[in-house]
Amino acid sequence: MATITTNYRARSDAVQLRSFKAKGRPSAIAGVGVYAPEKVLTNFDLEKMMDTSDQWIRERTGIHRRHIAEPGTTTFEVATKAARSALDAAGITAKDLDMILVGTSSPDGPFPSVACRVQNELDAPGAVAWDTLAACTSFVYALSIADSFIATERADTVLVIGAEVLSRMLNYSDRGTAVIFGDGAGAAIVRAAPRGAGFLSWCLGSDGRGYAQVTCGNIEKGAYAAKDATPFIDMVGPDVFKFAVDIFIRQANEVCQTAGVALDDIDLWVPHQANFRIIDAAARRIGLPMDRVAVNIDEYGNTSSASIPLALEEAVRQGRVKTGDHVLLAGFGSGLTWGATLLKWA
């Protein structure tokens, strides 16, 4: 069986990226909603639980606190709350939905899907529903599916959710992972849009050679079957850092070039909130000042598939996004996976 070790970094730059223009009927984000658990776990709280400090965490990640779900909280519950918020923001009801897509790394079980439970709770019986799992890239992958269905007129209105309860997958004696992740959910309503608005281009990809860089459970024996499986997130931090900076830069160039938009014309970049140092390093090399970058990792930590919609909703609420703006959404995650889209805000 082929395996990957720390030498993956030397090969990551050689991965060929695939990008393409959005085709067919245009689609755009019509509303964004979020939910974060009330409980907050600060860096000072973590000092009491493991060998770490507030300064150590802030300097290495930019994280000050993260929201943590109460024991027994399900991913379905946080997803549904974000969904209701997005429906309100878009001014529609669940009866208007043709499709519900949930991106998550922390489903409540192998099946049924989180999306089907959200569909039931929202009372949207006419909507087809399923989950997509691409770790932290899940939300962008799900957005691309929504865009494709609307482009081919197989759907008019799609609810896309990124939702996570990662705290139940953390080893709170491992400061390399436990200090990073938080719980939460974000959702977007995607609808048909006028020509020239909405999603302009996409860059989606995967490189399974790096599958061992970020894992959860005993993937070699089967996380659900192995009695000795450890159901905790594990990560090769330095390798992931290098990969993340590289892929952020390359996919930003790809989607802009494909859409015929200059990097300087990006009004707002909404990156996956993995680590502030990753975001800062990539922004510097892309040439974007931080006032054109959405960052809220200090408040939420890394919420995996929920991080992009959480950051996007905050930017919209703060008035940082206006009609006609070029907005870049970009993520990467375990797999390894990556995905980015450039859109003209409608």
**Domains along the chain?**
27-192 (3.40.47.10), 198-344 (3.40.47.10)
Q: What is the mean pLDDT of residues 15-31?
A: 95
Residue 5 — pLDDT band, cuts 50, 70, 90? very low
Identify each DSSP E strand in the chain by its residue range: 19-21, 27-35, 40-42, 65-67, 99-103, 128-132, 157-164, 184-192, 198-206, 214-216, 233-235, 268-271, 326-333, 337-344
Residue 272: active-site member: yes
* Residue 339 CB partners (closer than 8 Å, separation 6+): 134, 137, 140, 141, 144, 202, 203, 204, 205, 251, 330, 331, 332
**Average pLDDT in the chain:** 93
Is the per-residue pLDDT at 186 higher than 90? yes
Residue 215 — pLDDT band, cuts 50, 70, 90? confident
**Catalytic residue chosen out of the listed positions 67, 116, 216, 272:** 272
Residue 64: active-site member: no
Residue 16 — pLDDT band, cuts 50, 70, 90? confident
**Catalytic residue chosen out of the listed positions 43, 67, 116, 136:** 136
**Catalytic residue chosen out of the listed positions 203, 216, 275, 302:** 302
Look at residue 8 in the predicted model and tell me its pLDDT.
55
Residue 304 — pLDDT band, cuts 50, 70, 90? very high
Residue 302: active-site member: yes
Give me the DSSP letters along 42-105.
EHHHHHTTSS--HHHHHHHH---EEE-PPTT--HHHHHHHHHHHHHHHHT--GGG-SEEEEE-S
Lowest mean pLDDT among 32-41, 68-77, 151-160, 222-231: 222-231
